[in-house]
Amino acid sequence: MFVPAAVLALGLAACSDDQPEVESNTPRVEVDDDGERADRLLTLDQVTTALGDDRLEQADFDDVPVFENPDPRGPCGAEVPALEFGDDAVGRSFGTSDQVVFEIISTESDALGTYLDALIADQPDECPTYASRTNQGLMQTVSDVVLLDVAELGSRAVGWTSHIELQGQDLYGGVVAFALDGQVVFLQLQGIAPVDGDALAALGAAAAPNLAAPVAGS
């Protein structure tokens, strides 16, 4: 799971010109906003409908500081390989004053497939509370993990929500990831209010049909 530092400063507002540069011990994740698969990304209307929040605004992916996770974990805390997207990856972000949502689509590589399969494998009957390190070198505690029913996205799909305690602050996150037709979709939502798992699963369901959109220039 990526660590979107902006959400710790309450979403997209952290990306405005009057905010200090976010410091990170890991590189920033960079994907195209308008690559050849951009037409397959979720639209603002789709995200608003799925999440039921008409405050959401669309932004370029680069408008939200997203950094590589130095301590990648599965839904229930198992150590997993690093998340590596291909050069053709495209992304888009959406946010309000208290949450941020982003989507990345990439062609499935061996490394990306291995990462996704490791997430899927980490779904025991009960998820323990666990600690992990953030991109800023801080320890966070992850608890109250709820595994989502994302069976409609196929056999290679996983989703979960969780509570994150970081330096006395309560944060909440959710992830849906799945592979379809040689592509991998990664969705993440994080904010200061509990994540509605059903709404997040609905967001994944909205993303899947988009993968059939024509590739630009084809």
Flag whether 178 is in a domain.
Answer: yes
Give the Å distances, CA to CA, from 183 to 25, 98, 132, 199.
Answer: 29, 30, 28, 22
Q: How far is CA 165 from the centre of its chain?
A: 18
Flag whether 43 is in a domain.
Answer: yes
For residue range 160-199, list pLDDT tens digits in order. Answer: 999 999 888 899 999 999 999 999 999 999 988 999 999 9
Flag whether 215 is in a domain.
Answer: no
Average pLDDT, the chain: 87
Query: Among the residues of 79-125, which ranges form H helices?
Result: 110-121
> Average pLDDT of 202-214?
93
Count helices and strands in the chain by DSSP H and E runs:
4, 10
Flag whether 22 is in a domain.
Answer: yes
pTM (predicted TM-score): 0.90
DSSP 8-class letter at 28: B
- Neighbouring CB atoms inside 10 A of 9's CB total 14
Flag whether 217 is in a domain.
Answer: no
Flag whether 51 is in a domain.
Answer: yes
- Please tell me the distance from the alpha carbon of residue 196 to that of residue 53, in angstroms, as a whole number: 12
- Please tell me the distance from the alpha carbon of residue 37 to that of residue 105, in angstroms, as a whole number: 8
For residue 157, what are the domain limits? 3-210
For residue range 70-87, list pLDDT tens digits in order. Answer: 899 999 999 999 998 999
Question: Looking at residue 154, what is its pLDDT?
Answer: 94
Strand extents, DSSP E, the chain:
3-4, 57-60, 66-67, 90-95, 99-107, 130-133, 139-147, 157-166, 169-180, 183-191
* Nearest C-alpha neighbor of 163 from the set 187, 138, 197: 197
Residue 45, CA atoms < 13 Å, CB-side half-sphere: 0
* Nearest C-alpha neighbor of 158 from the set 83, 58, 214, 92: 83
Flag whether 34 is in a domain.
Answer: yes
Question: Among 45-54, 101-110, 135-144, which stretch is predicted with the lowest mean pLDDT?
Answer: 135-144
Question: Looking at residue 115, what is its pLDDT?
Answer: 96
CATH number of 203's domain: 3.40.1000
Flag whether 216 is in a domain.
Answer: no
Domain count along the chain:
1
Question: Looking at residue 159, what is its pLDDT?
Answer: 97
Question: Looking at residue 19, what is its pLDDT?
Answer: 47
pLDDT band at 67 (very low <50, low <70, confident <90, very high): confident
Asked if pLDDT for residue 14 goes beyond 50, the answer is no
The one-letter amino acid code at 125 reads: D
* Nearest C-alpha neighbor of 2 from the set 168, 198, 135: 135
